[in-house]
Amino acid sequence: MTTFSIMTAPCAPFASTPWLPDFEALKDRRGLPWEPSPPCADYAEISSTYYGTSANGERATFLDFSRPIDRITGLLAASPQASIGSLGGFSIVYADGDVVFCGATMRSGNADDTSASGFINDTMKEQQKAEIPHVSNYEDANALATDFDACGEKIQRVRVWAAAYLHGIQFVTETGRESPRWGKCGGPATTEIVAGSIIEGGGSAPILEEVDENWARSAAGIRMKVVGVKVVLGSRKYERGYLDVRPLAIEIMGCRMGTEAEQDTGGPTL
Q: Does residue 114 sit within a domain?
A: yes
- pLDDT score recorded for residue 47: 61
The answer to whether 165 and 125 have CB atoms below 8 angstroms apart is no
- pLDDT score recorded for residue 4: 42
Q: Does residue 80 sit within a domain?
A: yes
Q: Does residue 11 sit within a domain?
A: no
Calpha distance 82→255 (Å, rounded): 38
Counting other chains too, the contacts that 54-57 makes at CB distance below 8 Å and 24 or more residues apart are 54/30, 54/232, 54/248, 54/249, 55/248, 56/234, 56/236, 56/248, 57/30, 57/32, 57/232, 57/233, 57/234, 57/248, 57/249
Q: Does residue 20 sit within a domain?
A: no
Q: Does residue 269 sit within a domain?
A: no
- pLDDT score recorded for residue 29: 79
Q: Does residue 169 sit within a domain?
A: yes
Q: pLDDT by residue for the chain (270 residues), tens digit each? A: 554 443 434 444 434 445 445 556 688 877 899 988 899 888 888 765 578 876 678 899 999 999 999 999 999 998 888 877 778 899 999 999 999 999 887 765 554 444 333 344 555 555 566 788 889 888 888 889 999 999 999 999 999 999 878 999 999 999 999 999 999 999 999 999 999 998 775 333 333 334 445 545 555 567 889 999 999 998 765 555 556 688 999 999 998 886 555 554 444 333
- Largest Cα–Cα separation, the chain: 90
To the nearest 10°, the Cα dihedral for 199, 203, 204, 208? 40
- pLDDT score recorded for residue 7: 42
The answer to whether 193 and 50 have CB atoms below 8 angstroms apart is no
Give the chain's domain count.
1
Owning domain of residue 203? 32-264
Q: Does residue 62 sit within a domain?
A: yes
- pLDDT score recorded for residue 258: 60
Q: Does residue 7 sit within a domain?
A: no
Distance of CA 210 to the CA centre of its chain: 18
CA distances (Å), origin 85, targets 103, 106, 129, 188: 10, 11, 15, 21
pTM over the 0.85 mark = no
